[in-house]
Chain A
Amino acid sequence: MLQSSNVKSIEKVVIRFSGDSGDGMQLAGNIFSNVSAGEGNLISTFPDYPAEIRAPQGSLSGVSGFQVSVGKNVHTPGDHADVLVAMNPAALKTNLKYLKKGGIIICDSDSFTPANLKKALYQTEDPVAELGIDPEHIMLVPMTTLLKHTLADSGMDNKAIMKCKNMLALGLVCWLFDRPVDKVLAKLKAKFAKKPAVYEANEKVIHAGWDYGHNTHASMPTYRIESDEAVPGVYTDVNGNTATAWGLIMASEKSGRPLFLGSYPITPATDILHELAKRKDLGVKACQMEDEIAGVCSAIGASYAGHLAVTSTSGPGLALKSEGIGLAVMAELPLVVIDVQRGGPSTGLPTKTEQTDLMQALYGRNGESPLCVLAAASPTDCFTMAFEAARIAVEHMTPVILLTDAFIANGSSAWRIPEEKDFPEIKPNFVTPEQLENGWKPFDRDAESLVRYWAVPGMEKGMHRVGGLEKDFNTSVISTDGPNHERMVKVRREKIANIANDIPELKVECNADADTILVGWGGTYGHVLTAATELNAQGVPTALAHFRYINPLPKNALDVLKNYKNIIVAELNTGMFADYLQQHLPGKEILRINKIEGQPFLVEEIVDGVKKNLAKA
């Protein structure tokens, strides 16, 4: 057995819950995360679903995982788990690779039946030995037996009883990490508010799990996880997709423009549609359209009609929307396009994460059609960047593509609920009554920003037509004149470039005086930040620049980067952002760290990547 000791204090811990898709691992993981967040820990979660809705029970392909890191300085869900909960032999087999050396495994020993071992393709009857697991590091808990004892008098049938197994594991983990059971129960009570009998059964089971740990493994160390100092306020936990939806609602409140979403279900973006569909209670019109094209087109119609218009999708859907987005570029209408990136090309890896839509977002339209591209850095940053996307769209009369990804969309963090004053008013560039009196034309624009004015149907004397055909710079009437076209192409380009005057400058983090700067963008922020911190701790001086504004780049970005001897871009693709920077920084060699496995970076991969690049440089 494990060495006995007292309660240990640790900075952060990573726990991975794994089991069959139907085992309720996501729920157990979520409750553990939320309770930890309530205790003041930082959290970062990573749900790792199989692509299949219900793969065969007990099979390797049906294993679902939920990894969470809690504690201090938590910016990622962790490279490897300190504790792995495996509910069956298949989960044990597929998840062992995520366990830290010396980490602890909690496993349901009752699940080691010949049938389960066969389904998980074991050669022997002893999975622990077959996988080479040190028996000292595995807690074999007869979960099924315990469960049946606990609920023997409940009157529940076997199937209903087995559904509570996840709570037994949760009880055990709560004991191990000193989580308050009453808070776990409070969350469960809310979840099963309409099913009191189910709640009562789960309550018993959680206590049983906790007691089992306490009584039989009293010799094992239990842990107290440290907390960060947080900004005072009211907190909740939020995943990236929900935060995106809420950021848009905040932008609607701050702009006075009603929110319209035209969308079509697509993994992993659909939860944005789900959340906004619920938010009819805040006046949101979220419409599930007949296809991706209708999603963007209905949004364009709503935008013309004066709404804050949004369409949400993932990579393949963005491809379908290209022509529509081009129309919004040409008609100079505000439009927010959310692309929750997933593995591609084509259908690719629908449930997995990647950063491979950058080029599509920047260039994936016919003709010269520049637009603003943003990228959110973390689950909670999705709120801020969705707000920013809407602000820029409405104030600069342009489509804005916000890139998030499956990792931050499904991952969650504790989030301080913003107060009224935390976000600025958004000021749409409406045409004024004076302009309308004086012969306003639809493509009249502000001399400095080059933003055209927005006339909304219903305005007297505002009647105007927009469309996909080129317009004359002076008269706003259709024009096929060559020089005029070139002028308009340049005007539209400059209008987007001018957005750089209206976004924050790039801030260098970590060791700004280093010779080497690690560069990231979008959803890898937690990983690159942790890696840069780690590198500095290891004596490799490293600065960090993380980009959330991609087009235009922050005004100071290129000057900042130029000062570094080594620029190393880490990204989940073959080097799209590196190429993009390279084109802006000729003469500087942009070094690269790339991964395209459908999974987020491990911090150690970035740390090693920086070292390898420096060794070559």
Chain B
Amino acid sequence: MTVTFAPGDFKNEQTARWCPGCGDHAILNVLHKAMAEVGVAPKDTAVISGIGCSSRLPYYMNTYGMHTIHGRAAAIASGVKTARPDLTVWQISGDGDGLAIGGNHFIHALRRNIDINILLFNNKIYGLTKGQYSPTSDRGFVSKSSPYGTTEDPFIPAELVFGARGKFFARGFDITLDTTREIMVAAARHKGTAVVEVLQNCVIFNHGIHTWLSDKEVRAERTITLRQGEKMLFGKNNEKGLVRDGFQLKAVTVGEDGYTIDDVLVHDAHTVDDILHRQLALMDGHDLPLALGVIRDVKAPSYEADVEAQVAEVKAKKGFSNLRDMIMKTQETWTV
């Protein structure tokens, strides 16, 4: 008999202490649902976070979990997963925790392709320290630490993921919860480092930062939800589509300017070549719609599985029974 789980099995009795209206509440609820859908028992699940508002999340889970130190969640999660490949490991980071102080661990986790599911809560602001710009804040962004506007360009998280040879990238909003749940489940089922960027609202320090994309009125026009094997269509009535225009992508209206439904691209997240995935992930909602859903999901060897396999192979090959046996068989010895 297969044991099934309900969202409530992953939830504990602690009251979440985020600000009322914070996007994190919704993401937490969706994560409980996604975990139930994935079906790994709470006792076999570990949720690891760094520091920041979002990193409080493990305290609200009825799983194993660690709330660690600023920026180090990926490194700690890597240790958990390498030691215990049998566990399902989730990492919760914000844009500051994951991409500023923890940027190095973030890219190296991706490079190793260790099987952890990284939920990157991106609200383009430091909330817990009360309102400084983050590495994803737009150039010119005015905050307490940039009173005259920033003079630096932001990271686009997807671009870092691709730069680090990431094999899984997905994006969702803290208000399009069905899609966000689906991509969390897909991330959990992907073997290797999976990055889920959740565009999240900070109600206190950066309220409405994503509204121009996520608001119900404009969402259909300014975003596109990609689904495996389906045409890349968007718009209120799915009347628009993405087509090739030389090396670039172009948004067209189907039936206009000579474009037919046959010209519209079909999404394949499993293509190893990442050029189209990059182009899709870098669409920002201005000329082309912001892409939501699973953009890239490619199979590749995962670090912890290969470590485990190598250990098994070398152990079998050498056949040492213990330390003393190894020393006796490999070192020069003499008896007194």
Interface residues of A (CB under 8 A from B): 34, 37-38, 40, 187, 190, 230-238, 246, 249-250, 253, 258, 260, 262, 279-285, 287, 289-291, 293-294, 297-307, 309, 323-324, 326-327, 331, 416-420, 457-469, 477-478
Q: Decide yes or no: A253 and B322 within 8 Å by CB, A463-B63, A465-B59, A469-B67 being known contacts.
A: yes
Tell yes or no: B18 within 8 A of A by CB.
no
Instruction: Please determine whether B66 and A331 come into contact, CB atoms closer than 8 angstroms.
Output: yes
CA of A477 to CA of B51 in the docked complex: distance in angstroms? 17
Interface centre among A233, A258, A285 (most CB of B within 10 A): A285
User: Which residues in B have some Cβ–Cβ distance to A below 8 Å?
Assistant: 14, 42-44, 46, 48, 51, 58-59, 61-69, 72, 75-84, 86-87, 104-105, 108, 307, 310-311, 314-315, 317-318, 320, 322-324, 326-328, 331-336
For B80, give its contact among A231, A283, A284, A305 (CB under 8 Å). Answer: A305
Give chain B residues whose Cβ lies under 8 Å from the Cβ of A258.
Answer: 83
User: Please, which residues of chain A bring their CB within 8 A of the CB of B327?
Assistant: 236, 246, 417
Bound-state CA distance A615–B51 (Å) is 58
B58 & A285 in contact (Cβ 8 Å cutoff): no
B87 pairs with A458, CB closer than 8 A: yes
Q: Which 8 residue pairs across A and B have the least CB separation, nearest first?
A: A301-B79, A467-B67, A298-B79, A297-B75, A302-B83, A294-B75, A281-B318, A290-B108
| Contact yes or no, A458 B43, CB < 8 A | yes
- Complex Cα distance, B66 from A303, in Å, reads 12
A contact face: mostly helix, strand, loop, or mixed: mixed
In the assembly, what is the distance between CA of A472 and CA of B254, in Å? 62
Q: Is the CB of B83 within 8 A of A478?
A: no
Given the known interface contacts A301-B75, A305-B87, the answer about A460 and B80 at a Cβ–Cβ threshold of 8 Å is no
Which residue of chain B has the shortest Cβ distance to A260 in the bound complex?
A: B83
B111, closest chain A residue (CB): A290
Given known pairs A291-B104, A324-B72, the reply for A301 and B64 (CB within 8 Å) is no
User: Are the C-beta atoms of B42 and A463 separated by less than 8 Å?
Assistant: yes
**Is the CB–CB distance between B80 and A458 below 8 Å?**
no
What residues of chain A lie closer than 8 Å to B58, measured between beta carbons?
Answer: 465, 467
What's the count of A-B pairs with C-beta under 8 Å? Answer: 199
Decide if A253 touches B79 in the complex (CB within 8 Å): no
B80 with A301: CB separation less than 8 A: yes
Say yes or no: A289 contacts B75, CB within 8 Å: yes
Q: For B67, give its contact among A282, A298, A468 (CB under 8 Å).
A: A468
Residues of chain A with a CB closer than 8 A to B68's CB: 297, 300, 327, 467-468
CB of B336 within 8 A of CB of A40, answer yes
Asked if residues A285 and B78 are in contact (CB atoms below 8 Å), the reply is no
Contact A300 B76 (CB under 8 A): yes
| Complex contact A235–B105 (CB within 8 A) | no
Minimal beta-carbon separation of A289 from chain B (angstroms) = 7
Residue of A nearest to B71 (CB): A293
**Given the known A-B contacts A297-B76, A305-B87, A309-B79, are A458 and B44 also in contact in the complex, defined by CB atoms under 8 Å?**
yes
Q: Which of A237, A280, A294, A309 has the most CB of B within 10 A?
A: A294
Complex: A283 Cα to B334 Cα, angstroms: 27
B332's contact among A190, A281, A324, by CB below 8 Å, is which? A190
For residue B331, which residues in chain A have a CB less than 8 angstroms away from its CB? Answer: 236, 238
- C-alpha spacing A567/B307, complex, angstroms: 52
Q: List 15 A-B contacts (CB under 8 A).
A: A234-B328, A250-B323, A258-B83, A260-B79, A293-B105, A294-B78, A297-B79, A298-B82, A300-B79, A301-B66, A301-B78, A301-B81, A305-B84, A418-B324, A466-B65
**Contact (Cβ within 8 A) B84 A294:** no
Q: CA of A298 to CA of B254 in the docked complex: distance in angstroms?
A: 51
A250 to B324, CA, bound (A): 9
| CB neighbours of A233 from chain B (8 A) | 335-336
Contact pick for A301, options B48, B51, B336, CB 8 Å: B48
Contacts of A418 in B (CB 8 A): 324
A246 neighbours in B (Cβ, 8 Å): 323, 327
Instruction: Tell whether A460 pairs with B43 under 8 Å between CB atoms, given A298-B78, A467-B68.
Output: yes
* B79 interface neighbour in A249, A302, A465, A468, Cβ under 8 Å: A302
Closest Cβ–Cβ distance, residue B89 to chain A (whole Å): 9
Kindly state the separation between the CA atoms of A40 and B335 in the bound complex, as whole angstroms.
9
Q: Are A467 and B328 in contact (CB under 8 A)?
A: no
Contact status A38-B334, CB under 8 Å: yes
Tell whether, in the assembled complex, residue A298 and residue B75 are in contact, meaning their CB atoms are under 8 Å apart: yes
Contact B322 A298 (CB under 8 A): no
On whether the beta carbons of A281 and B326 are closer than 8 Å, the reply is yes
Quick one: closest A residue to B101, CB to CB? Answer: A293
Chain A residue with minimal CB distance to B13? A477
Contact B336 A235, beta carbon cutoff 8 Å: yes
